[in-house]
Amino acid sequence: METLQQVQDVVSMPRIGDKAPSFKAVTTQGEIHFPEDYNGKWSILFSHPADFTPVCTSEFMTFAHLEDKFAKANCKLIGLSIDGLYSHIAWLRTIKDKIEFKGMKNIEVKFPLIEDISMEIAKKYGMIQPGESETQAVRAVFFVDPKGIIRAIIYYPLSLGRNFDELYRALIAMQTSDAFNVATPADWNPGDDVIISPAGSCGVAEERMTSTDELDCKDWFFCTKKLDKEEVLKNILKKPDLALNN
Ligand code: BEZ
């Protein structure tokens, strides 16, 4: 019979808007304190089911290949699985020495991979979803902002490799929302029109419909405006490095 604490451990799920649960961990790049070590930067904390498995291998190679691209957007990567440090090291060495995937080879994973044999961190972050597996983490992705707040969460099942274009798109879209105080519509990419938050009063609704400024309002609640791709990228990718510890 499971205790209440054990049940709570398994179903603990941080939510969007929560402070990212704090932890100290052993990783392939030394010890980290999360999210404290990442103050001033975005980070993506992601879990995978196990070392030496093919989908995970393809994902790690892709993330490692894209690490610089995420770094230019002020975003660090941190992986986690319920394996030990030596397994992680052996797997990453094998990836570098032997595995070729979609033209990528000799791929060195330089971002930290957390060992979590005790499942303590995986449970804290709701990465164990017993209907899928009681011993392997699902493919969870937590986007954490420079203040340590969880801004987006995506979960994939064990059998489904993630779409990295979407992870990057989501990161840039959230940074754009923050920088320009706008929202982003379906399938938005830099250069596409952005959404102005809906009018909160009758007066603003009327203004939106009658103003001739930069807004394009199809109705009082659906207004967009142009936002140059260059302006987005200049703001997102050339931000001064705000890192306190990294
Ligand atoms: C994989 O990474 O290939 C994998 C891991 C767990 C279950 C299914 C696939």
**Does the domain spanning 4-161 belong to CATH 3.40.30.10?**
yes
- pLDDT for the residue numbered 54: 98
Centre of ligand 1 to C-alpha 51, Å, is 9
Which residues sit opposite 44 in a β-bridge? 77, 143
- pLDDT for the residue numbered 200: 87
pLDDT mean by block of 10 residues, the chain; 246 residues: 61 91 98 98 98 98 98 97 98 98 98 97 96 97 98 98 98 97 97 92 88 87 95 77 40
- pLDDT for the residue numbered 240: 45
| Residues tagged active-site | 56
The third-level CATH classification (topology) of the domain covering 175-243 is Antioxidant, Horf6; Chain A, domain 2 (3.30.1020)
Counting atoms of ligand 1 from 1, which one is nearest the CA of 161? 2
- pLDDT for the residue numbered 8: 58
Q: Which residues contact ligand 1 via a Cβ below 6 A? A: 49-50, 53-56, 136, 158-159
Centre of ligand 1 to C-alpha 196, Å, is 41
- pLDDT for the residue numbered 12: 76
The string of DSSP codes covering 168-223 is HHHHHHHHHHHHHT-B--TT--TTS-EEEPPPSSHHHHHHHHH--SS-EEEETTEE
Best residue among 159, 160, 162 to mutate for probing ligand 1, ranked by most atoms within 8 Å of CB: 159
Counting atoms of ligand 1 from 1, which one is nearest the CA of 58? 2
pTM over 0.85: yes
CB of 17 within 8 A of CB of 6? no
Counting atoms of ligand 1 from 1, which one is nearest the CA of 136? 6
Domain residue ranges in the chain: 4-161, 175-243
